Structure 1
Amino acid sequence: MKKLTFLLIAFISMSLLPTIGKAQEKVSLTFKFKTINTIAGYDHVSKLKVFCDNELVGESSQKLQSIANSVTVKVPKGVHHINAALYALYQGKWESRTIEHNYSFDFEYDKTGNWSTNNTINLTFDIESESATATEKIPIDSDDEKKSKVKELTTTSDIPTGEVIYKEDDKVKIEDIYPEDSYYSDRSRFIGKNATVISVSYNKSNSSYSGKVKMETGETAYFYSIMLSRITDDRNQTSKVRKQATTPDNPTNEVIYKENDKVKIEDIYPEDSYYSDRSRFIGKNATVISVTYNKSNSSYSGKVKMETGETAYFYSIMLSRITDDRNQTSKVRKQATTPDNPTGEVIYEEGDKVKIEDIYPADSYYSDRSIYVGKNATVISVRYNKSNLSYSGEVKMETGETVYFYSIMLSRIAD
């Protein structure tokens, strides 16, 4: 009897071994990363943090961003969402280098795939071109189990390949959540519900969508394998904003707001996180830090500084320009325009004497602007930023201090 019991236990154990082994199977992902064209004075101490299904699985050592670095992590085999984000040490705190934190682009790798074998991903973050590129040693295979089902929903006559392009602030309905998604077990809470797109991307491998949306409840969720459909019954608001945004100089409806433009907040839309608190902002004046135009509903998203000093990030608001503060703009344009250079750029060469007229909020010296604004300096090397008519570069102050500014306004001191 004991012998029979032993054999039975041995048989069961052997039967379970493949299952246990399979559950523990993992693959190694090595991320080799580098940042190129680093601007002098902005070589941040950085590290790469790697997430699998929104859980941190490893991070690299800390090095200056200009020095190549690498990190290897273990992730379970199968379909998973992998995100590798570059973090910078800024004012004693680590922050992800993303547009959300006022960087010029997202320093990250983000992909949902079928991770079936060890792989190496080479990442290059280019400051000059404001781009992140990735090269996988072994192309990633993704699960296409749901391919035909999603294509049936997303195919249109305009996009025969099955992809519907959803932009920021588009209204969508969550049609399905697939098993590989971390929200699958909680799918009853989301399927059939409406949401607003923050940022989603199309996965050609299985014709699903990955990305971040904001639910009508106010909850923000990151999905990496869902099926969406567009909600098309929200056009009145769009026409309202388009009327505001149209000017004779810009018949396409977009008004371009630059850094430091003075604006009035005309409306905040329901999909915005500040909607419930809109009475505190609507009708108030603000200064633009950085805003972008959303063609999908003709609204604006971005960061502004209120007259109270509060900085707020909105992602669906209506703006109008305050036109009684043009002196400073014309002053900059007048200063920057010469008969030899009608495009508005003044070329400052090494040794030129200049006066610092203003320091913009994007500059790291903005909080210390009272020390520099109105002071004279000598140019070491500066370049012109067409996007906001400012200058970046190195100057030597009359005190002997050498400073690298990122976004300042200059005027020439005549000899």
Structure 2
Amino acid sequence: MKKTIFVLLSFLSICLAPAFAKAQQKVSVTFKFVTINTISGYDHVSKLLVYCDDDKIGESSQKLQSVANSITVKVPKGNHTVKAELWALYKGTWEVRTLANNYSFDFEYTKTGNWKVNNTIDLTFDINDEVVNVTEKIPVTSDDDEEVAESNTKSKGSYATELAKINKFLKTFDDGYYGYLEIIDGYLYDRFKSGKYSKSEIKYLGTAYEDTYKRKVVIPCTSSKECVYSTYTDSYHKTVTFSQSTDFNTSELITLLNNLLDAYKGVKSSKGNDNDDREENAKSRQKTVKTTKPPPPPPVEEPASGIGFKKGDKIKIVDIYSYDKHYDTKSKYIGKTGTIITIDYDDWDESYFGKVKLSTGETVEFNDFLPELVKGAKGN
């Protein structure tokens, strides 16, 4: 009997040994990090926290951010997501250095891939350029899913410079209303100052273009599907929109947005055909817009009645193209299709579709939806 049990245990150990060995295989990953261009008086005591699949696997020693530091962690072999975050001691409390915590950019590194061999990753957090410069001794890639590899295994440093530039622009744009942008797992997030956000899958986003002269820039969905989700409306839309009530340099914003998308997608721009193709694509989209949106406004000197609507007319919202800050989703006037509103303006302004009075008595301006005159319900 004892001999039988011994033989059985020996057999099991031989069969399971490879599985146990594989489960215990790990690689060493060393993170070397430093913060450069530190402003005098802001040299925080810092540390790097490292996670694997959201589980903390290491924490570095504490040093001033301007002093080079390092930490070595063990990462299981295979496909995993490794994240490194820089934390700072601020007024006696440790906090992660992210845009959400009012730092100038996200002091972090994230990589999803197949961790096969020992590696060294250098992280240089640049205060001036607001970017994380990443150097991997051996690039980490994924063998299992080419699409995931394309979107997730990019070093954040490959597009972080463009992300930092546009977030710097958004700090003052429309009084900071749009908050900041970030990219997580192939999605572009707009973290509004209000705490709300929009979420768009980047592979479905096209090229940014000027939708309203000097007032609005949009990024359209390339497919017929609505690819932009907004927590303001709790619904999906066909464009990501950036607008304000005063003139701004739309060309600058368009360039910043397209550079970010190109950098993330790995598009190499050329001085020749790339610009021509982009312009042609923008024209093509605008042709499509003309078939689905209201006609462009008439010159300012023409009467408002020239557009087919006038003060007092009742119109119905047929379709909403994108979230706009002037929509009040809590009211019954703006925010969902089928709503009927009364036009409450005299002159056409090309940056808006019009104005409306809410139940609170407040008058707000709004735009970017398809209107339809309610027959037999005209006002004065």
Q: TM-score, normalised by structure 1?
A: 0.42
Larger RCO, structure (CA 8 Å, separation 6 or more): 2
Structure richer in strand, relative to its length = 1
